[in-house]
Amino acid sequence: MDEPLRPIDQLLRIMARLRDPQGGCPWDLEQDFSTIAPYTIEEAYEVADAIDRNDLDALKDELGDLLLQVVFHAQMAQERGAFGFDEVAAAIGAKMVRRHPHVFGDARFADAQEQTVAWEAIKRAERAAAGDADRSALAGVARGLPEWQRATKLQSRAARAGFDWPGPEPVLAKLQEELEEVRAEFARGEVADNHARLQDEIGDLLFVCANLARHAKVDVGAALRQANLKFERRFRAMERLAEADGTPLPSLDLPRQDAYWERAKRLERGQAD
């Protein structure tokens, strides 16, 4: 009697069947790396959302969705004769062993900071062995990252080379400086007339915000997700309050909408309305 397939083997077979030109799924057959990439990114964010909500049942499902993305890409690569899922798993396993010589070898590090320095040295050696001649401290920071994450990584790499503010106070001062530059651009006239300058100055402002978060050891993505959730929660409460009063929110002017916003905040904080 044949042993039952392991779940991962079953998943690989399902993906191969979906991509089978003879009777597979038309949608799956139409996809390529570029069309699937946005779904891969989306699923990673769904994993992060489940973690934020501390929903382990959802996390299990979302990790499965993310795993499917890996299987999908590996199947398409295998069809091209490039690599398959086993090669993906083998490559990451070998990389983890190589990058943890203190666990799988004889290396010893005094603390996590020393280990991080060694980790970056190993990565530089890997890039050099692969023929990458870029020796910059910023080498290897992927351009496909979400820009807020790329900003933080660039700043962290520069900090390891010693190019960093000593603490949050000068970052706050720089933030105020960048805010004033944005204010000055708005004062110059119509937004349409200086859009490029506004984009540049607002970009600088956001970059400094990311740096401030780094100094506070706050994850920018997590902070922004939390802010988005808070805004959504309060705005929906505004809508419910206005509807209960028989006045749809869009029909109100801004001062009256602001009054509902303050009511929503008080209710959220458990204060009497």
Distance of CA 167 to the CA centre of its chain: 25
Please tell me the predicted confidence (pLDDT) of residue 49: 87
Please tell me the predicted confidence (pLDDT) of residue 7: 95
Mean pLDDT, the chain, integer:
90
- pLDDT beneath 50: ranges in the chain: none
Chain segment 17-34, per-residue pLDDT in tens = 999 999 999 999 999 999
0.85 exceeded by the pTM?
no
**What CA–CA distance (Å, rounded) separates 21 from 4?**
26
- Using the structure block, give the residue that is written with the tokens 């996390």: 59
Helix axes 195-215, 168-187, angle to 10 degrees: 160
**What CA–CA distance (Å, rounded) separates 264 from 58?**
28
DSSP-assigned letters across all residues of 110-139? SSHHHHHHHHHHHHHHHHHHTT----STTT
Chain segment 67-116, per-residue pLDDT in tens = 999 999 999 999 999 999 999 999 999 999 998 998 998 888 888 888 87
